[in-house]
Structure 1
């Protein structure tokens, strides 16, 4: 797709976000399966649901703009997924508490990438005066921030203490 307007860039970034979400969904489920801490498992399962909701929302917006959701492949998330596999899913970490701490760090790296993506498309949608899109994307952004804060609280309040 040739990018010549902000609208073109907006669609491109939505497609990239769609790809990023699809990639992070699979690895987040694996992180949840690998986690030992019950609260962490629950939080990651809520993360899976949030990512699924984000995929549906972004796909709907892309289709509304008559584009193919699979028009981009997010190489940035591909790298983060590889890191999550190497440092958590396939990592040789014997201490379950240390592994849980690593799981949180890898999940948050992916989450922060998603926050940047959602923030970007919200800003573009605002500039393009796409108020329905803004509402949808802002809800995704808010949900992602909420999940990130929950992970930080879990890490700081329990998981990192146990890992230490």
Structure 2
């Protein structure tokens, strides 16, 4: 795709978020299977549902603009997912408590990426006068913020203390 204007940048951002969400969905499912704490597991399962909805919303936005869903690949999310594999899936972690603290941190890294990506796409949509898109992206951004806040609450209330 040749980038010629802000609309092209916007479409590229939507495609990147679609890719990132697909990668985050698979990673979050794996994190949920590893989690020991029930509150953490519940939050991750809710995260799976939120990410799944985000994928559908990105697909609808891309379709609205006649853009390919599979164009591009989020290399940034690749890096986060690789770190999850290294730090959690292949690491030798003796106790579930520190693993749960690491799971929360890794999920938040993915949530922060989503916040940045959705926030950027939202700014582009507003600048382009795409109010329906902006409303959808605001919803996605709010969902990402909510997941991040929930994970912070769980980590601060129990996970980090147990891991200590």
Q: Shared fold by TM > 0.5?
A: yes
Q: How many residues align?
A: 164
1:116 corresponds to: 116
Q: Following the alignment from structure 2 to structure 1, what is the Cα–Cα distance between the partners of residues 68 and 97?
A: 42
Query: For the residues of structure 1 that align with 2:99 and 2:92, how far apart are their CA atoms?
Result: 9
Q: Distance in 1 between the 2:91 and 2:144 partners?
A: 26
Matched, 1:83 2:54: no
Structure 2: unaligned runs, 5 residues or longer: none
Contact between 1:7 and 1:128, CA under 8 Å: does it hold in 2? yes
Q: CA deviation at 1:72?
A: 1.2
Contact 1:88 1:106 in 2 (8 A): no
Q: Deviations over 1:64-95 (max 9, x none)?
A: 00010111100000010000111122221111
Any idea what the Cα deviations from partners look like across 1:35-57, whole Å, max 9, x if unmatched? 00000000000000000000000
CA offsets, 1:11-49, max 9 Å, x none? 001000000000010010000000000000000000000
SS in 2 for 1:71: coil
Structure 1 length normalisation: TM-score? Answer: 0.99
Paired with 1:33 and 1:160, the residues of 2 have a C-alpha distance of 19
Distance in 2 of aligned mates of 1:27 and 1:90: 13
Q: Distance in 1 between matches of 2:89 and 2:63?
A: 34
Cα distance in 2, alignment partners of residues 55 and 35 from structure 1: 23
Residue correspondence of structure 1 range 4-153 to structure 2 within 5 A: 4-153=4-153
* Distance of 2:32 and 2:48 partners within structure 1: 9
Cα distance in 1 between the residues matched to 2:24 and 2:31: 10
TM-score scaled by structure 2? 0.99
Which consecutive segments of 4 or more residues in structure 1 shift more than 4 A?
Answer: none
